[in-house]
Amino acid sequence: MASSPPSPPRIPHHVAIVMDGNGRWATRRFMPRVAGHKQGVESLRRCVKACADRGVGVLTVFAFSSENWNRPPEEVSGLMELMVGALAREVPRLSRDGVRLHFVGERAGLSAKMVAALVEAEASTAHNTRLVLNICFNYGGRWDIAQAAAKLAAQGLPMTEMNMDRAMALAHVPDPDLFIRTGGEQRLSNFLLWQSAYAELFFSDKLWPEFDEAALDEAIAAFQSRERRFGQTSAQVSTAAA
């Protein structure tokens, strides 16, 4: 009896990335930290295209955490200006490439100009279906869990796992399959705490501005080499696959 052809390599449907190392990249080159963040935008542009080309359906990136407000004021203001400028430049390109934008995070406290730019970017890309790009901005995993619990309490709904899942800020996409952190650090840093319960973790020593297509392929290859059991045994997984 002829054997079945091998299954094609699994591509993670949802990739989440902590884009760490922009400041260190700039400091090593005797440049201001904001210059590193500008270079990080270029790296994100490459990563979005690479993910779409490889068949990834959802890319979620950590752009600005709720803890980042504690950074030096000049860096925070530079990041805000960079965000507004990047939206003006990148949204038309993203829309042409079939990318749908979602901005995930607390909008209270952001300037009216910033909020308007986020809303406009989401509206202008709402029809796209090639790739969902979630940009977590003023986001924290603990904030996400707290806002979901508050939402359920206000609606008088029980705080079951299913209800909480539906109330999370990323309820519009499935949980991440592959969680990547660049910059050599090995921690979650309050990113997608609820959603990453069964994500495969990959830590890269590359600083984010250095993270290229080859580095993404390395992370995807590591994902493909792992057995995802979701609490089952290896034998159960093998039987289900067969």
Catalytically annotated residues: 20, 68
Closest CA to 26 of 101, 89, 79, 95: 79
Distance CA 174, CA 192 (A): 12
* DSSP β-bridge partners for residue 203: 181
Tokens coding 79: 């990041």
Tokens coding 40: 């990080």
Strands 58-65 and 14-18: parallel
Torsion over CA: 233, 177, 164, 146 (sign): positive
